[in-house]
Structure 1
Amino acid sequence: MIPPIRSPISLEEKAALEKSSDAAQIEFCNVTKMYGQVTAVRDLSLAIRRGEFLTMLGPSGSGKTTTLMLLAGFDMPDHGDILIGGKSVAAVPSYHRDQGIVFQSYALFPHLTVRRNLEFPLEMRGMKAAERTKRVNSILERVHLREFDTRVPSQLSGGQQQRVALARALIADPPLLLLDEPLSALDRNLREQMQGEIKSLHQEFGITTVCVTHDQEEALTLSDRIVVMREGRVEQTDTPETLYDWPATRFVANFMGEANILENPCFRIEADERQSPGTVPMIRPERICITSADKKVADKDYRQSVTGTVINMIYAGPLRKYKVSVGSSVLVVREHVSSGQHTFRAGEAVRLDWLRSDVRFVAT
């Protein structure tokens, strides 16, 4: 018998799960996957904690989707092992794994109503009609689709179809939820709305969730941890805040957002952190303040200042982005737009300053 949909877990319960000794629910142990002569995933070792939302992020060809397909059982590793709950599943096909999956295309049955799309996986598990109805009504309420249950997918918006796909993945209360580029087909506003929906559902259900995306903002918004992948390998794994603020490599710094890589600048870099061999200094554009060139510098003991010339300014609604030449270097500056704020134009002399504590050193 399929258990009822679990009650929402509290934040305290979620924290306890993450800190428990058996927190590692999924483990990749030196996993390698080859396609002919191409190595899609190379010697991957990764532990995913029970109840966490982990996102695999990277450019096309980085191995993130292949990793998800291996975890889902749609593909088998050539070397290494995959453990779920301490048991090897490397040779277990997808249909024998207890998991919910949301595909990029949603994969809803086009000829079935929303209700029938949700009932189908329960029928396949042998659930009785009365229990199916109760379960479907409950999940429809949770994804705010109760009044759409008689519609077919073509009569729904993209966001509504996405919620149906999420509901179908969650309806049998699986211990594991897999998301393959779940929001890539949606426009920006709808994507942001659905990010909130997914985050809310994850907090409510507490299901271990593994998501694949190439969208940095999506990964930062949704994840407890992010795995940045490159050429089949893990480049860095950490919390969203740490990955963005303390990237380990030049690749991560650039992939997680814009970064000023200060390689061979025409000015001496001052920083609180000591530079290690094989690293270059980096500072995020929003950490740099832009002011008139003749304005006095405050907190000289804590800041570094340089003068330069504006190359151009790009207005992007809540933000302005400047490119400023400082000798042979070009620095990008981002500032939030506010009323009464001066807008610098191309050719205008400016001063840039930043806290020395905001300078990071990343491996080349």
Structure 2
Amino acid sequence: MYGPVTAVKDLSLAVRRGEFLTILGPSGSGKTTALMLLAGFEAPTQGDILIAGKSIAAVPSYRRDQGIVFQSYALFPHLTVRRNLEFPLEMRGMNAAERASRVKRMLERVHLNEFGDRLPSQLSGGQQQRVALARALIADPPVLLLDEPLGALDRNLREQMQGEIKSLHREFGKTTICVTHDQEEALTLSDRIVVMRDGRIEQTGTPEALYDRPRTRFVAKFLGEANILENPAFPIEADTVQPSGTMAMIRPERIRVLTPAASRSADTDQRQSVTGIVDDMIYAGPQRKYTVRVGENVLIVREHVASGQPVFHSGDEVRLDWLRSDVRLVVA
């Protein structure tokens, strides 16, 4: 709790050994507080924290034997890369020869063997992130905690480092808990994702399950784009009966945009079609994004750019269709 505010409520979560689990949520959802509790920088007012069956709730952070990577990297600015990596080993009483050997291997692993004598200020953002990851892993901790690890990098570097983090996770097999608000990062890196909202867990599952089968409107909208068909101007055809209190949802990439006179596909009996008017088209490299007005509803459609396909513009009449099996039902 922070004064009268309860930052995390009724949080119950088990993390499997060797799993990469991401806690995802918007600002104020409680995700960072959850990580701070695991790291020992905050103490729970109720409940317990167990690692391998042993309580660590009362154990100070410096005795928890965890590797931590912060968004700001938190490298020692006055120490070289080599000394930054040596520091956690020195604190554990490792002898000089073993320290030097382990640092050498780790520098080679993160492709920084030529940068050992540089200061952090002499490195790029991606190189600093590699040093931070190497320092967190070098002492062989049972648990690795990542706090918005790629938030300070530009898009290209983020994608590059996502691949590096996945590679390191496969190689070292560490139980990893990552906190982020970046949906793409969570989908790319995780074995499982925990979506948090207002201090509670909204839904937990694999990236595929959460994206394809969200249970709530919040998860559907937060984890990618979603067309929520609330009080639609047309009847919804789905493979299951729609219970009271639910809304239909369909992902933009599941919808096809066609000319009204386009021939019907062989699986037309499994599809629903509606007609609408294009409000806008945005070209985004490999994709086109359409917003299409159907009665009082506006649907988002994303299609991959391919040669020979028609391109629609504002004011064009189009036909939208989708498989009934791609319709999902979510609660508010």
TM-score, scaled to structure 2: 0.99
Tell me the equivalent position of 1:270.
Answer: 237
Structure 2 stretches lacking a partner, 5+ long: none
Using the TM superposition, give the Cα deviation of residue 293 of structure 1 relative to its aligned residue in structure 2, in angstroms: 1.1
Using the TM superposition, give the Cα deviation of residue 286 of structure 1 relative to its aligned residue in structure 2, in angstroms: 0.2
Tell me the equivalent position of 1:334.
Answer: 302
For residues 130 and 49 of structure 1, what CA distance do their matches in structure 2 show? 34
Q: Does 1:153 align with 2:120?
A: yes
For residues 16 and 324 of structure 2, what CA distance do their matches in structure 1 show? 36
Letter in 2 for 1:242: A
For residues 199 and 208 of structure 1, what CA distance do their matches in structure 2 show? 12
Deviates more, 1:287-296 or 1:352-361: 287-296
Letter in 2 for 1:332: I
Tell me the equivalent position of 1:51.
Answer: 18
Q: Secondary structure at the match of 1:110?
A: coil
Letter in 1 for 2:7: A
- Residues 265-344 of structure 1 aligned to structure 2 (within 5 Å): 265-298=232-265, 299-344=267-312
Using the TM superposition, give the Cα deviation of residue 296 of structure 1 relative to its aligned residue in structure 2, in angstroms: 2.6
Tell me the equivalent position of 2:82.
Answer: 115
For residues 35 and 192 of structure 1, what CA distance do their matches in structure 2 show? 35
Deviates more, 1:293-302 or 1:316-325: 293-302
For residues 274 and 165 of structure 1, what CA distance do their matches in structure 2 show? 51
Letter in 2 for 1:272: D
Tell me the equivalent position of 2:165.
Answer: 198
CA contact (8 A) 1:306 1:326 kept: yes
Letter in 2 for 1:150: D
Tell me the equivalent position of 1:101.
Answer: 68
Give per-residue Cα distances to partners, 1:283-302, cap 9 Å, x unaligned: 00000000101113222210
- Residues 1-364 of structure 1 aligned to structure 2 (within 5 Å): 34-298=1-265, 299-364=267-332
Tell me the equivalent position of 1:27.
Answer: none
Using the TM superposition, give the Cα deviation of residue 274 of structure 1 relative to its aligned residue in structure 2, in angstroms: 2.3
Structure 1 stretches lacking a partner, 5+ long: 1-33
Give per-residue Cα distances to partners, 1:221-278, cap 9 Å, x unaligned: 0000000000000000000000000001000000001100001111110011222222
Give per-residue Cα distances to partners, 1:198-236, cap 9 Å, x unaligned: 000001000000000000000000000000000000000
Q: Secondary structure at the match of 1:95?
A: helix
Letter in 1 for 2:134: A
Give per-residue Cα distances to partners, 1:28-50, cap 9 Å, x unaligned: xxxxxx11111100011111011
From the two aligned structures, give the one with the greater strand fraction: 1
For residues 109 and 245 of structure 2, what CA distance do their matches in structure 1 show? 51
Letter in 1 for 2:299: L
Using the TM superposition, give the Cα deviation of residue 90 of structure 1 relative to its aligned residue in structure 2, in angstroms: 1.0
Give per-residue Cα distances to partners, 1:278-322, cap 9 Å, x unaligned: 210000000000010111322221000000000000111111100
Using the TM superposition, give the Cα deviation of residue 88 of structure 1 relative to its aligned residue in structure 2, in angstroms: 1.0
For residues 345 and 278 of structure 1, what CA distance do their matches in structure 2 show? 36
Letter in 2 for 1:313: M
Number of aligned residues: 331
Letter in 2 for 1:348: D
Give per-residue Cα distances to partners, 1:86-126, cap 9 Å, x unaligned: 11111111011011000110000111111011011111111
Letter in 1 for 2:306: S
Deviates more, 1:294-303 or 1:351-360: 294-303
For residues 37 and 246 of structure 1, what CA distance do their matches in structure 2 show? 35
For residues 292 and 260 of structure 2, what CA distance do their matches in structure 1 show? 12
Q: Secondary structure at the match of 1:148?
A: coil
Q: Secondary structure at the match of 2:59?
A: coil
Q: Secondary structure at the match of 1:35?
A: coil
For residues 241 and 164 of structure 2, what CA distance do their matches in structure 1 show? 42
For residues 156 and 342 of structure 1, what CA distance do their matches in structure 2 show? 47
Letter in 1 for 2:205: D
Letter in 1 for 2:22: T
For residues 114 and 173 of structure 1, what CA distance do their matches in structure 2 show? 18
For residues 259 and 270 of structure 2, what CA distance do their matches in structure 1 show? 19
TM-score, scaled to structure 1: 0.90
CA contact (8 A) 1:287 1:354 kept: yes
